[in-house]
Structure 1
Amino acid sequence: MIRSLTALTTRHAWKFILLWTLLAAGLSIVGQSKMHSVTQPDVSSFLPKSYDSAAAMEIAEDKFGAKPDDNAVTMLVGRDDGKKLTVGDRRHIDKIARGLGEQRLKMPNPDDLPSFMLTDHSQTPVVKSGATAPDGTFRLLSVSLDGNRNDPALQDLYRDLRDHAEDEFARADLRTGFTGGIADLADTTEAQEDTEKLVGILTFGLIVLLNVLAFRSVLAAILPLIAVVLVGGAATGAVVGTALLFDFKLDPSTPSLITVVLLGIGIDYFLFMLFRFRELLRADPNPKKNARGVAAETAGRVGAAITSAALTIVAAFATLGIASFGQFKVLGPAIAVCVLVMLVASLTFIPALLAVSGRGMFWPSRALRKEPKAGMSARLGDRVARRPFLFVAASVGLLCALSAGALGMRMDYGTDSGPDDTPAAVTAKEISRALPGGVASPHTVYVAAADGKGATDGKGAGRDVRIDASGLKGLTKELKAVKGVGRVAEPVLNDRHTAAKVDFYLNVDVNSQRARDLVSDEVRPLVVKQAPPGTEAHVSGQAAIFADVSEAVSKDLKVVFPVAAGLIALILVALLRSLLAPMVLMLAIGLGFTATLGSGVLVFQHVLDRPGVSFTLPLVLFLFVVALGTDYNILISDRIREEMGRSGSARQAVAAAVRHTAPAIVTAGVVLAGSFASLAVNPSPGTQEIGLVTALGIGLSSLVLSIVLVPAVVAMLGRATWWPSKSGRRKGGRGGGHRAPRTPEYAQYEPYAPYDPYTPATWQQPHDSEPLRR
């Protein structure tokens, strides 16, 4: 099927190129305009309703009209001279605050996008009075804006509000500061804008440079990047369209992860094709022949490995569908959709580009006119095949040493914070020096009728439970007595008196483990016990939410890991038609994962002295490193099996496979690792960890597992690696390799034996007096 598809695309190359160009343009517009409308910045919304904080938020929305997309910003107002606020200053603050709460903010409509593709964030902000500093030097106001704070349009609306407020208060000789929510994000975005642009330029420059070094060609250096950007736009639009169609929300970090994954695997698959395309062109005895047949043969040979590699990623991320934590659950289909789009492009768009460009792909290099000399990859393949035990011991020793770093790993469930020198961060520090740390992030106890059922009046008649403030005195009294709880506000009832809320503030860092333990072990049991009869009480707030997230993630790790590993193993069995080879690969992949995780723990937990690694790191790292790293293992294994179908010993086949495949794997690995490393400039510490540690894992997968450990193990096991399949055995000379259909496009290229200086006649090399043996 794959060969038939690639033959079709090379015959009608220009039609497929035009189709992909139009498709990419249309879907890119959809993706860019609607991406922020399908993202959900509120972590609590990803929790199942069975968790306490999710139940609390449900009461807040149903009984108090709370909005899940409400963005509360804390505004600090003080005197320019730093002195205490006077009575006149307070009157000015109240007057200006009322004016801000009555003025409607209008969002401009850009000319470059149709109005139906935009979200109109025009609104009137809600401004409320807040706490006053104990020394009277400043007063806090709460300003709320509705909308997705990740949407640049809403951030622009906030900046308009901020600038207007600064001007109004400045006329009264008052200064302002803004922090929390969208204020933090807007300031961080402005601070990181130039850095992100520079990193993007450097990432693209790295890809172009590596391609130039690998192919000595202008077109081969630039065309893959252009093609992957086009396909990436189409894939992003497909993800957004899927989210809109099935009505699910993405996590704010998903778009950046999608970009990195698409760029990395897209370049990888293009490189796999390019290296094999050049290899086949070199073996073509008639350079003037049409290159379409070579392109079809290239895609046919590499397409199976690429398909298996892509399906491995899809299967791994599809397992996130069984996770209970919604942030994981939505990441799965998003990555799966974009990888499937890239797979289809790899089997249609890329072969079409190869067919059209032909030998011009490698201009002005003259590498196609002469046989390549044995380079580093050839020498590495030779040494790995000759001394497999030594390389296995060295590789396993290195990976085990790195894996030891995972001992004592701690999870950090703190919220992501940006730079500490932005205006929002400076304002937050000023507030925390004067007021308890929990003031900027209050927690709330919500009380409502148990299970939404009415109580009875003693005569059997049902009625709604009415809550009286006096019935909550015991709850507030006991709550004040809890060590670690600061101020407890008076109960607030809703209009119908069917629900109540009690705000309280913690004296500890709300991002700390102490805060999560305090809420889950002390506050929650207390409020359940003190809830009035016929009601139920739930706790919401940052520490409460992440206490529930911690529990959900712990459960998901125990389920997703084994299921994902099982699916990947099944795909490897289907591809390699063997039981022993997939076992070898899975053991190598598992060791690579533990080594990568151990390295991350060493760096972030011990060297950088962070509270722990991000709670999402182990699961996301497992999926990325195992799924993406398996690409390289599949490519090398498939090539070893192909080489074993030719004449010569098993070790000769391993050496030839490493020689021909190592350049593609190393180049692709560096590109993919560089793509993930670009996430290091992301303001989110969790995203930084995912980017840097995944980059390290990709490096280990490409440089250690794929071109050293796996080939060395296969050299030790020989053709028994493919047991019980016979695909690695010779069948009368060269048989056993992949057999191409006898079609006019590429019949002349089968059977094919690429140039290899390590033929049986020349296997004994001058630098080693002992010839290789099976």
Structure 2
Amino acid sequence: MFHRLGHFVVRRAWWVIAAWIVAMIAIVGSAPKVTSQTDESAFLPKHYESIQAAQLQEHAFPASFTPSALLLFERNDGQALTTADQASMDKIVNGLTDAKIPAVEKILPVDPKTSKSKDGKYALSMVGIDKNKMESQEFPDAAKKLREEGTKLADGSGLKFQVGGQAASSLDQKDASGATDMIVMLGSLVLVILIVGIIFRSILAGILPVLLSLVIAMPVANGLIADAIKVFDLKSSPMTSAILIIVVLGVGTDYFLFLSFRYRERLRLGEDRKTAVANAVGRVGEAIASAAGAVAVAFAVLILSSLGMFTALGPALAIAVVATALVSLTLAPAVLAVIPSRAVFWPGKKWMQEPQNARFAALGRMTGKKPGLVALVSGGILLLLTLAGVNYNGTYDLAGSSMPKGKESMVVQDKLMTAFSAGTADPSHVFLTSTNGSKLSESTLNDFAGKLQGVPGVASVVTPSSENKAISADGTTGDFTVMLSDAPASNKAIDTIAKVRDTAHASAPVDSKALVGGITSVYKDINTAMAHDYTLVFPIAALLIMIILGLQLRSVVAPWYLMASVGLGFGGTLGATTVVFQNIKGEQGLMFMLPIFIYLFVVAIGTDYNILIIARLREEAREGRTPREAAREAVKHGGPTVAAAGFILAASFATFMLAGNVLFMELGFSLAFGIVLAAFVMAMFFTPALTALLGHRAWWPGHADSPGHGHGGGPAPLAGTHGVPEPAGRR
């Protein structure tokens, strides 16, 4: 099949190139515009309590005031606020109100009694922004306008004015995301061009994967993803764009290397350019297609996730991988077919000389001679690192971890947690509602508030009353504002909210029910959803990848130990990241979605390298070599490709660490380290060593390693070319 594809592409190279350009323009031109979702609660299904609480709040309190932005005041000299400062704050609040900023519905005045910190140095005003604008650009724009206008009004007053809260966080997160995208893209571009250029000692070879990935594959993928989001009503996360860059460029470079190494190898065997391209596609096409299939399946299975951020991210990445693989199997060989081989590898002068590959030859000999020892050592490394992951602890401060600490919303959040109750930044809400239509009595409300106040970790509870407008118009629902002692996104706060739920449910009077809402409640439900995903998504993905491996390798045995090795790679990556960030750096935990991302890239892309190595091992076995000889040759000839691809992808992921925030530092380190494990420990040593130990049993019940089985020497050279028969044993 892939030999026929290679011949088709080579014969119609210019038509293939033209078709891709036309398709790219059409897909990009017709793609709808997509808005990223920054509200964590929007990613949860409706059956979770936090979402039900939000729906009840909207129904019972349609005009309820939930602050979307927080205005923080303090003196420039750090002293306590004075009576004159109170007048200045009133002037600023009134000025902002008079400015009639779009989407801003209400700005509460600074209450001298309730809106100041205990030390008197800070004061707070709360801003209500239209809830219907949360998914639009008007939401962060409102925060931006508040900052600009408030700073002007505060000028000369001796006060420092800052804006925090959800809208400001959304604004800062968007700015940080744009900067991160640029850093990641530029860093990855430079790395790919330099490293691929050095590997092939060529300028054009370094540029080609970048052009193919970012000029064709990336726009096509983005257009198709936008169509999928619109058609299937998926959510879009701000981090998708940065990850998409790495996936398309990283996977595209990997597949370009798979093809180019084989292309150069065929040229060295004496084939002309077009025959070499066609045979390279025939030889490595199945590995690329199987690898892309495994990666796409691993990504796509996230559609089963309980969290909207993953149900959108998974299919998006799957689409990107499929688009990139199609580019690699058709457009890349078409481009190589029309460019003279000397130009592709210029200015290198020894590209036609077969190198001795002394290091990889030595590694291959070691694996072939002592497969048991190699498997024991490499497997032992993976197992020890996996055991280090038992101390993993998840954290949920997504906004804070995805932005540098110097961003204004982060500064406000830190000051709120020290000057006020840590939970002031985003209080929780407990809704008590009658189920038989009767009104809630004052005594019932007071008794219920007392039970909530008694929960350890609760700083204060505001009992609903007609004065604070926390009782619904029909008197059947009360909104209890609960301030927690700990930061809303902390694990302590999440543990507290679980106790608040238990107490609220147990203490709800007869013919009433209680629902707990707020951002901490959302994080608690995300925690529950993640546990569900781990028990559903991972096993299904593993099963589907094993089926793909079984079909590609025509074996029942090989997929089991290949997936076991990838599982150890996952555990080893999580363990190493836990040690570095929790034990050494002192972080309270790792971001809650990190295991999913490690799964996405280490498990999925790590399978790529396993497939490439074992496909080469099978090819060598078909030439009549023993299992140990095949392992030796697979490492010798496939090792350089895996090493180059793994190094480039790991370096690309490492560029995340330049973004300057905790989330991307953790992502960058874990994914780079995981790819290094997958390429240099798992694929280079563990997999070929185990295959050598199992011998022919690895291919049971088929005979995929039998001499003459499969494509053998491939089809005849292209008509009109000067193909040269291959030397015996090197077909």
Asked whether the equivalents of residues 555 and 699 of structure 2 are also in contact (C-alpha less than 8 Å), the reply is yes
Q: Which of 324, 339, 348 is equivalent to 1:357? A: 339
SS in 1 for 2:286: helix
Which range moved further: 218-227 or 538-547? 538-547
1:755 deviates by: 8.7
Tell me what 2:694 maps to: 717
Residue 467 of structure 2 aligns with which residue?
Answer: none
Q: Which has the higher mean CA deviation after the structures are superposed, 418-427 or 234-243?
A: 418-427
Instruction: Measure how far apart 1:406 and its partner are.
Output: 1.8
Moved more, 526-535 or 714-723: 526-535
Residue 460 of structure 2 corresponds to which residue in structure 1? 487
Matched length: 717
- Equivalent residues in 2 for 1:601-680, closer than 5 Å: 601-680=578-657
Q: 1:82 to 1:622 in 2, by over 3 A?
A: closer
Aligned pairs for 1:121-270 within 5 A: 123-124=103-104, 126-129=106-109, 131-145=115-129, 155=140, 158-184=143-169, 186-187=171-172, 197=182, 200-230=185-215, 231-270=217-256
Q: Output the CA distance in 2 between the equivalents of 1:184 and 1:80.
A: 23
Secondary structure of the residue aligned to 1:296 is helix
Moved more, 189-198 or 400-409: 189-198
Deviations 1:360-419 (A, max 9, x none): 211222334433334322222222222222322221222222222123333333444233
Output the CA distance in 1 between the equivalents of 2:204 and 2:138: 38
The 5 A counterparts of 1:90-101 are 90-101=86-97
Alignment of 1:458-477 (within 5 A): 466-467=439-440, 471-477=444-450
| 2:553 equivalent to 1:573 | no
In the alignment, which residue of structure 2 is the partner of 1:434?
419
Contact 1:166 1:176 in 2 (8 A): yes
* Contact 1:150-1:252 at 8 Å conserved across structures: no
Are residue 319 (structure 1) and residue 315 (structure 2) matched? no
* Cα distance, 1:371–1:561 mapped onto 2, change above 3 Å: closer
Q: Is the 8 A contact 1:281 1:368 kept in 2?
A: no
Mapping 1:373-452, distance limit 5 Å: 373-417=356-400, 418-450=403-435
* Structure 1 residues 639 and 191: alpha-carbon distance in aligned structure 2, compared to 1, 3 A threshold: closer
Distance 1:481 1:371 in 2: 77
Residue range with higher mean Cα deviation, 591-600 or 626-635: 591-600
Contact 1:9 1:351 survives alignment (8 Å): yes
Q: Sequence identity, in percent?
A: 33
Instruction: For 1:350, give the aligned amino acid.
Output: A
Matched, 1:588 2:565: yes
**Cα distance change, pair 692–28 in 1 and its aligned pair in 2 (3 A):** farther
Give the partner amino acid of 2:195. Answer: L
CA distance in 2, matches of 1:268, 1:510: 42
- What letter is aligned with 1:432? M
Query: What is the alpha-carbon distance in structure 2 between the residues aligned to residue 382 and residue 148 of structure 1?
Result: 64
Following TM superposition, where does structure 1 have runs of at least 4 consecutive aligned residues deviating by more than 6 angstroms? 147-153, 191-196
Superposed CA offset, 1:579-623 (max 9, x none): 222223122222222222221221122112222332222233123
Distance 1:507 1:649 in 2: 67
Aligned equivalents of 2:60 and 2:728: distance in 1?
A: 73
- Tell me the secondary structure at the aligned position of residue 132 of structure 1: coil
Does 2:41 align with 1:44? yes
Partner of 2:718: 744
Query: 1:303-318 maps to which residues of 2 (within 5 A)?
Result: 303-318=285-300
Point out the more displaced range, 737-746 or 624-633: 737-746
The offset of 1:240, in angstroms, is 1.9
Closer, same or farther in 2 for the Cα pair 1:124/1:505, shift >3 Å?
closer
Q: Cα RMSD over matched residues?
A: 3.1
**Residues 146-193 of structure 1 deviation map (CA, whole Å, 9 limit, x = unaligned):** 588798886455333312111112254433122233434545666787
For 1:175 and 1:527, the matched residues in 2 are separated by: 40
Matched, 1:726 2:712: no
Q: In 2, distance between residues paired with 1:753 and 1:428?
A: 69
**Cα gap change, 1:570/1:175 in structure 2, threshold over 3 Å: closer, same or farther?**
same
SS of 1:509 mapped into structure 2: coil
Residues in 1 aligned to 2:685 and 2:462: alpha-carbon distance in whole angstroms: 64
Write out per-residue CA displacement over residues 625-665 of structure 1, whole angstroms, 9 at most, x where no aligned residue: 11110101101111111111114433333222222211111
Q: 5+ unaligned residues in a row in structure 1: which ranges?
A: 106-121, 456-463, 760-774
- Cα–Cα, structure 1 residues 154 and 646, in superposed 2: closer, same or farther, change >3 Å? same
Normalised TM-score (structure 1): 0.85
Q: 1:233 to 1:145 in 2, by over 3 A?
A: farther
Q: Which whole-Å deviations, capped at 9, do the CAs of 1:475-504 have from their partners, x for residues lacking one?
A: 223223333222322411234545332212
Give, in whole Å, the separation in 2 of the partners of 1:56 and 1:726.
60
Deviations along 1:666-686, one digit per CA (max 9) or x if unpaired, are: 111011112222222345534
Amino acid at match of 1:367: K
CA contact (8 A) 2:212 2:327 kept: no
Where do 5+ consecutive residues of structure 2 fail to align? Answer: 465-469
Residues 66-77 of structure 1: matches in 2 within 5 Å?
72-77=68-73
Partners in 2 of 1:191 and 1:413 — Cα distance? 18
